[in-house]
A and B are shown apart, each in its own frame.
Chain A
Amino acid sequence: AQKITQTQPGMFVQEKEAVTLDCTYDTSDQSYGLFWYKQPSSGEMIFLIYQGSYDEQNATEGRYSLNFQKARKSANLVISASQLGDSAMYFCAMRSNSGYSTLTFGKGTMLLVSP
């Protein structure tokens, strides 16, 4: 069974500052993928970044980077230079690459960016 834990129900950050959203996971699989999604108040799920378990380098996508520490089973999302539009719910998710499995989501972290 897979499990995603996001321990921060809410985070506050000032505009232009960096923020780290925590995510730890538990799985017995050797090959898996880790995802981060953003869900603004409109409800749509926006894909941000992906990290494969065998990827040696941390994934980066613009202002988003994923701090992947495999031994600690953590996949924290780092948002640099926060913007007001970053205020949203953020979900960490994982998917096993064995066979074809579904996404397992964490409970989410609400990020509020203040001016």
Chain B
Amino acid sequence: GAVVSQHPSWVICKSGTSVKIECRSLDFQATTMFWYRQFPKQSLMLMATSNEGSKATYEQGVEKDKFLINHASLTLSTLTVTSAHPEDSSFYICSASVRLVVFGEQFFGPGTRLTVL
């Protein structure tokens, strides 16, 4: 089956630093990658959609200058949380999709748990 990896799986950083999270599709080429944020005991909230080679589309209320997304290839997307603050602590999940798949199934990565001190 389609496998999506994320790195790191967890990260602890100091307030004010930047953190980069990688999302890779290991055995398929993903035309689109999605980034979600999930707070404890809540649902997944879509942050942005990125297509390879083009700028990401951010959801309303998500600061694009704070959450930098780069989708440089069909197998790699990165999310950089710039100048992280404690309120950015969350579980970040990426997913990857192949446009031509019949029902556009999204394959999810295992998530990255970010804690900002």
Contacts and interface: CB of A to CB of B under 8 A. Distances in A.
Interface residues of A, number: 21
B95 interface: yes
A44 B110 contact: yes
Contacts, number: 49
A17 B91 CA distance: 32
B77 interface: no
Given A33-B103, A44-B111, A50-B105, A107 B42 contact: yes
Interface residues of B, number: 22
Contact of B106 (A46, A97, A103, A108): A103
B59 to A, nearest CB: 9
9 contacts: A35-B105, A43-B91, A43-B110, A50-B103, A50-B105, A52-B103, A91-B43, A103-B34, A108-B42
